[in-house]
Every structure is written in C-alpha cells, then in structure tokens.
Amino acid sequence: MSAEATNPVSAAEAAVTDATARRRGRARIDLRRLGRAALLGATAGPAPRDRLPDAISHVAEAHRAHHPEADLTVLRRAYVLAESSHRGQFRKSGEPYITHPLAVTLILAELGAETTTLTASLLHDTVEDTEVTLDQVSREFGDEVAYLVDGVTKVEKIDYGAAAEPETFRKMLVATGNDVRVMSIKLADRLHNMRTLGVMRPEKQARIAKVTRDVLIPLAERLGVQALKTELEDLVFAILHPEEYETTRALIAGNPHAGDALGAVAEQVTTVLREAGIGAEVLVRPRHFVSVHRVRLKRGELRGCDFGRLLVLVAEDADCYAVLGELHTCFTPVISEFKDFIAAPKFNLYQSLHTAIAAPDGAVAEVLIRTHRMHKVAEAGVVALGNPHVGQDPADRPGGTGTSGGTDRQDRARDTDAAALPWDADRPGTAGRDDAGGPAGPAVSAEDGERVDPTRPGWLSRLLDWQQAAPDPDTFWTSLRADLAEDDEITVFRADGSAPGTISLPAGASCVDAAYAQHGEAAHGCLGARVNGRLAPLSTVLADGDTVQLLLAQDAVSGPSPEWLDHARTPAARIAITRWLRDHPESAAPPAAATGPRPQVHVAADHRSGAELHADLEGEPRASVRPAGCCTPVPPDKITGFRVRGGSVTAHRSGCAAVDTMRRLGREPVAVRWGDTAQGRVTLVAESFGRPGLLADLTEAIAVAGAAVVSATVEPPSEQRVRHTYTLHLPDVARLAALMRAMRDVPGVYDVSRARRGSSPQQRRA
C-alpha cells in the first residue's frame, strides 16, 4: 500500500516485465501516462457524468472485455472519491498516488473481476491513508464494498507496534474466510507494489520480498490465481536471488529462437488434431523465469522445447481426453509426465491434463490440455468465481444488511456459471457438505436463489480454526508461514461414517494431525488409530485416500506426550499439544520436590506399594496407613483417608467411588498425604485388540519405561478384545503418566487405566 513507491523500472524488473508481457500477450500500461491523466483530471475538474474520466478508461476497457454489459457508473463514482481523497499525495517516485489504486484495479480487471471488486480496489487505500471513513464508503457504495475495503486496511501500528504486520494478516485472513475477494485485492496490491519496489532501500526490498515469498505467493497458489503468483515469483526471485536471476535472464536472452522448436511441434499437433476432427487452439506458452530456473536445476542443459510448453484449449471436457488420445497415438508419450487434474482436481481449483510427447526429431514438449473455462480458472482462480454472495439473503453477506453497489446483471450471470466450480465438487466424499462439516445445500443456479459457496476451501477453514488458538502474534506469524509452506493437500476418510466424511490435511500429515483436525482438544486422549482397517501408531504418515479411525481414551486425565510434537505437521495440532504440555508440566518432567518442613504425627510405610503415607492421627502413634486396594493410589494422586477396623487408615484416590460411599455412611475423612519416597506400586489395566506378540510388546514397553512387573494376568479374549492386568513397581511414581502413554503407544492397545476393584470399566477409566 502506501509504504511502497514507484520508480523507473530496473533492468531486472524489465526482464520480468518482458516475460509477463509475452505470457499475457499485452503491453504494460505506462504508469507515467496514468499519472498525467490523473493530474489533468484533478486540474480540469471532474469528467462529465455521461463518460468516465480518461484516467480509468483503460480499466473500463478491460472490464468490458469480460463483462460487456457492466454498469460503469459505480466505477466512475469510486474513482472520483479515490482521486479527490488521494489528491496531493504522491508516491516516492513523484507519481500521483492515485496511480497505485488505478494499477491495482487494472490488474483485477484484466483477470475478469466483477464490478464490486473493482470498486473496492479503487477505494482500498482511502480509509487507511485519507480522511474517508468506512461509514462513508458503506453509505455511498454498500456494505459489501465497505467490507472488502476494511478487509485490506492495515491495523494501526501505533496500537500494535511490532505486531502490526502479523495482526494485519490475521485480520485479512479472517475477512477472507467470509469473502475471498479480500485476498484477491491484497494480491493485486502486493503485485503492483512489488513491480515498483526499486526505490526502496535494499534491506526493505528484501524484507517485503521475504513476506511475499512466505505468505502472499502461497496464498495466491492456494487461491488458484496463477497469473499473479507467477509474476510475484519472478519479482521475488530477482530481489532475493539476484545471481541466479541474472543467470536465468542471460540464458533466456541467449536463446531468442528457443520458441521455434515448440512452434514446430505446435504445428504438428495442430495438424494431427485437425485431421482427427477435433476443434482446438494450440498455443506456445513461454515459461516464466522461476520455471526456467527450476527446469534447469532438474534437467541441466536446456533444449529449445524446455523454454516453454504447449497449451491446447478445447470446448468440452470430453475433448480434453480426445486430444490426449490423439497425441499419445501419433507421438511417443513420456508416461512419467502424465497427470490427470481433471478427474482429480487440485485443491486450488486447478484442472488440466498434463503430458509430454516426443516429436519425430526427438524434441520433447510438455503439453497442457484444458477447456477454455478451465484455462480461465487456472489463470484467475477465485477471481474467476466472481461474487460468492449472489443469491444470498443480504443479512448473510459480509457486512450485514447492506446491498452491493457494484454487482450488475453480467456479474450475476457470471456467478451462476461459477456455481459449477466448487472447491471440492470433484473430491470423493465431499459432495453435499460444506467446509465446516455441516450439510450443504445443492449446487443450484442463482435463479433458484442459492448456491454452494466455493470460496471456503478446507485449508482456509483449518487456518481460521487454529489462528483462534494462537493469540500470540509471534506464534501466529510463525505458524502461518509453516502452514503455507505445505504446498500440497490430501484427503482422508473417516471410518466411523459420521459427518463430515472426510478430513483435509496437508501432505505429510500424521494420525496426530488427523486426531486434532477431527476432535479438537479431545484428541489429547488419543491412544492410536486404525489406518485402512489396520492398527497403526499415531506417528503414521497418512496418504491421500486413506481411511482413518481414531481411538480415544475415556480417561479425562490422559494427555499428549512431548513426542507427539515430532509427528505433528499442522499448526492446530502443534499449538494444542504445546499448550497442554505447558499447562501440565508434570507430563514432561517430574514435579519439583516440595520445600519446607511438614508437621507429622505418624509416618507409616506401606510395604506393598513402597510409598510413604502421612496421616494426622493424634493420640494414635502406632496406627498404620496403607493405600486402598480398590483404587491403588500412588503419588501424586489426590487422596482421602478413612479409619477402618483395627485402627488403621486406608487412603483412597479422591475420585474413588468408595469415598462417596463412606461419606454417605457418615464416616469422617482423615487428612492423609504422601511422603517423600519416590517409589510406588500400581495396578494398570490395558485393553487391546488381540494380535500375536502383543504381550511381549507390552512387557517390553513396561521394561523400557523402567518399571518392574510384580504380577500379570491376561483374561480370555472376548470379541477379539483382550484385557491385561499388571501390578507394577515404579522406582519413581512421577513417571506413571509416561508409562501409561508408552503402553498406549503399543499397536493394538486402545486404552490403559488404573485398576479399580469392583467397578465397571467406565469407572476404572474415570
């Protein structure tokens, strides 16, 4: 926004501009001409009401190319407000500031954005940098425009200090969760600022480029806006890797006729398709700089066909496969290069067939095959989806009850066409459900008054969920970058059949990530999982299409171990685990020894458990104190004592059912507490699925944890389930929680609990 400035384009940026111009087939708009037009508009007065100001005529032309019947009146009003409010403001290059919102709006107009987005784009800096208020924008242009403008407005640095940038992105992402057009405007804004970054100090250029690389480029990829993503990549490449950039630039400049080889293959492909009676348009698409750099690293020396790819555009989906068949019949296919993103679309809306063919002269050319509609979405992503709120009740739109000042009949018709492009429509198991997990309405046209909102993909829902659990800006900023660094997504299926039937996760996610994605904080008690019907440890890395059943403990005190952090890939899982470990330090380390003397009346060692118990029994110095056999308490359990026959005292865990029974019978409790002895004896019950070698694995886990088996019993299997009861001697009872986790990690074990005689399994887990 206002932090960046315009300057004469550097040589490196000029090379990027040339590549972009070749790819788009149009020249870059001269910003100095825009500045002169803006100044003339300011000095000569407003344009007549029946025509647009000269300064935005190019925006109108680009907009009408996508929306021939668009009503441009609202754009004129938005420009007049933006120009008058920014009048007197200049960028660091000396250009009038109005050139920036004009350039941003032009970028979006070329991508086919609807009128509401363009209106908000013209006004996107007014609230941040001028005296214009959101209320004024809402009154003049509607609540939708005001919502979009507010979404891209930075938070005040005076209020947030060093956290201003992370909090600005948090605010923007939350707004994007309701309307992705917010992020479309931000991406176009950053692209223009990156184009004009040359007058900044080198260190500031590098800082902005790194944020663009780590946050904005991954967001552009996830939103499918490839036209913006590729140019941002080239601009960042030139700033952060100048030597590699110059090498790539020289390589491209040194091969001016590289496209001739692809052109020859394109002619052969055109001939083959014409003879087959398939109507298709075959184009040569030069690679952008970063793509050439990646291919060079992958293949070494580049040949002519490596500097670009062929793009085949057809009318219908079926034609894509017809083209593929002809190419694989008439040319030698490179099978390893074939990918079908039509049958299995990428999570960012992208659909296309990828293949590579070898021409008779040995040249190998990569080929992209898609329909014209797929191509539009591949280039513009969510921008091609238009207004996601057409057909909704105004009260359900962002901003509340207002109406949009910029959505016209063509926008509505275009959005009706976009209803056939839901994010997950082609994914197995996702049809008929929204991203939040609830039932979704049918994907009907705007004439029926509603449509599935395609602008809330699974990755965005996950991001919005975990950001709420990261109040610390540093945690949010670090987690956001890590989350966006995952450049692929998988879908796994829930075995329990409950809604929603699928879980979307980043590639490389484990069962730990699936547990927190499905159960939230209840996943603290996850014991294991069944992956594709087979028992698997929580560290198992999931693959696309796996079926997962997560096994949760009924014990409310169960929690994750520090080792889970080694297997967690998603920020949601890592934040939840870290917070639990912080709130329960005893799970990661033994508690600190108590300090200060304790008043004691009697100390008695229980020889069965090895733990010391203290009881206040004045006048009875010989009374013995022992742990109750029904709940076998060990340090540091909270305990309550009761007198029994013979004058001795029995200590129960505070949650033991016998405590309530004693109180109902009128028995007075006796104050008891643990001594300083670390050792103890405990009885544990392990419930598991039967399998060969289970007993050996359990005893090995117990031995590795440092416990000694005093006795063990195994009940006969019942419905393929087995119950093991172990009485164990622990040299340090503070390690009991770690021991129970180690036993739960044994494949096949789905619950480990403390033994309670005479109680049900549910009570034992309590």
Catalytic sites, residue numbers: 128-129
CA distance 306 to 572: 41
Read off the amino acid at residue 607: H
CA distance 89 to 67: 32
For residue 340, which of 320, 359, 310 has the smallest C-alpha distance?
320
Residue 746: DSSP 8-state: S
Cβ–Cβ contacts within 10 Å for residue 193, how many? 22
Cβ pair 313, 319 in contact under 8 A:
no
List phi, psi (to 5°) of 529. Answer: -155, 160
Q: Distance from CA of residue 467 to its chain's centroid? A: 10
Residue 331: DSSP 8-state: S
Read off the amino acid at residue 505: L
State how far the alpha carbon of 129 is from the alpha carbons of 2, 190, 309, 631, in Å.
7, 16, 43, 67
Residue 335: DSSP 8-state: G
Q: What share of the chain is helix, strand, coil (3-state, %, to 5)?
A: 45, 15, 35
Q: Which two tokens stand for residue 728?
A: 């164990």
Class of residue 203 by CB neighbours under 10 A (exposed 0-12, middle 13-18, buried 19+): exposed
CA distance 504 to 84: 47
Q: Distance from CA of residue 592 to its chain's centroid? A: 39
Taking the alpha carbons at both ends of the chain, their separation in whole angstroms is 56
List phi, psi (to 5°) of 47. Answer: -70, 155
List phi, psi (to 5°) of 348. Answer: -105, 25
Cβ-count burial 5-22 (b if 16+ within 10 Å, e if not): bbbebeebbebbbebbee
State how far the alpha carbon of 232 is from the alpha carbons of 21, 187, 235, 284, 291, in Å.
14, 9, 5, 22, 12
Cβ pair 726, 683 in contact under 8 A:
yes
